[in-house]
Structure 1
Amino acid sequence: MFSKFLVKNHGKVFGLFSSFNRKFSLPPCNPTQNAFKDKFVVSILDASQKIGRYVALLLKQSPHIQELRLYDKNDSVCVVAEDLSHIDTKTKIKSYCGISVLKHAIMNADIVISLGGCRTKLNECAKDLFEKNLDDVRLATMNCIEFNPRTIFCIAKPPIEAFVPMVSEEFKKGGVYDSRKIIGISSVACMRSNYYVAVISGQDSSAVRCPVVGGISKCCLVACVSQSRPEKVHAQHHKIIQDSIGIAEDEVIKAYGDQGSVCLAPALSISRFINTQLKALKGESSCVECAFVKQTGHIGQFLPYMTSIVRLGRHGILSSHMPKINGYEAHCLKRASMYIKENIKLGESFVTGEQKIVAKDMKKAVKQ
């Protein structure tokens, strides 16, 4: 039923794919006449983790950031900040250590990024990751609600399929919910899809653009290979590419062993997304990415949250679109929707009281 709907209605529901194609053919972002701000404040939460350090290093070089704030409970974040401050770019570095100063790291920030807590073992499921990362995400959410509800809150902690709905429900309870400003960064899936499409088709991966829908974890993502640009992939290779993307993270975890988590490709994809959002905040147009966000319209009836093609604007998500998909991709999305719904329920039910997971750091924060 779901797959038939997607295929039958792709002309009505998914007709706005052209905006994605225009962006992913790498046109310049054109500034509008009403751009009102040139430099921005970005806060990275859990910045002393490996992926946090890499994202901070990349964003330190961004010409759009006036001040880069690094926050972590671990005091090693101060060392990371000191090291980064030696890099001769205009971006200023500030460090914040300890739960009690989290609010200062978030106040007046244009973008807040929650990252880290990546998979380090092959058997870590969505529920395990949710419980592991819950404290940090919820604490950040509560501080954003109280001290900076207008910030664009970007979530890159897994599972984003559960945390985006959870954060949304918390913002609703706080009376400051704006679906445009809560974004799950899933661009690493697009990066991997570009790579595997290029490998199969013999193209330059930097020239390939392949959208991803559904989610970001291996059971949730669907690569829309039929809509990749340039179009040089035979239909018989679509399943190979889909399967390769699904196990890409597992393969790297196997190679790393006990040495750490997958962080290089995700760090670069996160920094690219943030830079695109910063361009949109400056008023530039044609800033398009893939992200896990709140859905509306026909798709919202089936999946209230999912990865889709989004156009970014001054307030976060300007619009959300779905690409056209073929029968095989519709079948994959139908299968993925079951896992996505489970993750959405996992996140939402925690806020509604059905989940009995104790947020340890929240108790500490209340006392302080």
Structure 2
Amino acid sequence: NMISNPVNSTVPIAAEVLKKAGKYDEKRSFGVTTLDVVRAKTFYAGKANVNVAEVNVPVVGGHAGITILPLFSQATPAANLPHDVIVALTKRTQDGGTEVVEAKAGKGSATLSMAYAGAIFADACLKGLNGVPDVVECSYVQSSITELPFFASKVRLGKNGV
């Protein structure tokens, strides 16, 4: 699992290094994008007036700015939020890291929320490795979903990785 930013670059570079060493396994190489999911869930819950623990919002694309694409149309529980609210939630999710840095006057970043997101993803990986069924998280992985070689999407985690 790679959690070091920039994830959109780190994961493909690590893949190439591991390929050259003969150690690359696309089913076991993950870029952690859980922080984007945590932000999308939190912001959505606030606007939908629901408990964040009950919310799920898939986030696809990448892990930087406009590459972060929260799929609020697939959020559960469903909320009939106006288009302008969805646009604002999307922008806030994409700019979440910048918002934190600005709030800290450039003297820090989202270290605690990143640690929280990392713990969520690590827990999901451990559940998958232990055979817990239907463990699904969003992650930046090698993909054939689009023309892009890597893409953040929902992945099912299991004993063999993705």
TM-score > 0.5 by shorter chain = yes
- State the aligned residue count: 161
- Cα displacement string for residues 209-266 of structure 1 (whole angstroms, at most 9, x for unaligned residues): 1000001111210000000001013241221110111122111111112432221111
How many Å separate the matches in 2 of 1:259 and 1:223?
27
- Structure 2, unmatched stretches of 5+, are none
Matched, 1:271 2:119: yes
Query: SS of the residue aligned with 2:123?
Result: helix
Q: Is the 8 A contact 1:200 1:233 kept in 2?
A: no
How many Å separate the matches in 1 of 2:82 and 2:63?
23
Aligned alpha-carbon RMSD (Å): 1.2
Matched, 1:227 2:74: yes
Query: SS of the residue aligned with 1:156?
Result: coil
Q: Within 5 A, what are the aligned runs for 1:152-231?
A: 154-231=1-78
Q: Which residue of 1 aligns with 2:153?
A: 308
How many Å separate the matches in 1 of 2:45 and 2:62?
22
Runs of 4+ in structure 1 deviating by more than 6 angstroms, as ranges, are none
Q: Is the 8 A contact 1:291 1:309 kept in 2?
A: yes
Partner amino acid for 2:152? T
Q: Which residue of 2 aligns with 1:73?
A: none
The structural deviation recorded for 1:186 is 0.3
Q: Which residue of 1 aligns with 2:141?
A: 293
Higher relative contact order (CA 8 A, sep 6+): 2
> In 2 relative to 1, CA 206–315 (structure 1 residues): closer, same or farther, beyond 3 Å?
same
Q: Is the 8 A contact 2:140 2:150 kept in 1?
A: yes
* Fraction of identical pairs, as percent: 29
Q: Is the 8 A contact 1:190 1:212 kept in 2?
A: yes
- Cα displacement string for residues 109-132 of structure 1 (whole angstroms, at most 9, x for unaligned residues): xxxxxxxxxxxxxxxxxxxxxxxx
Q: Within 5 A, what are the aligned runs for 1:14-33?
A: none
How many Å separate the matches in 2 of 1:251 and 1:234?
23
Q: Which residue of 1 aligns with 2:100?
A: 252
- Using the size of structure 1 for normalisation, the TM-score is 0.43
Query: SS of the residue aligned with 1:270?
Result: helix
How many Å separate the matches in 1 of 2:115 and 2:16?
27
- Using the size of structure 2 for normalisation, the TM-score is 0.94
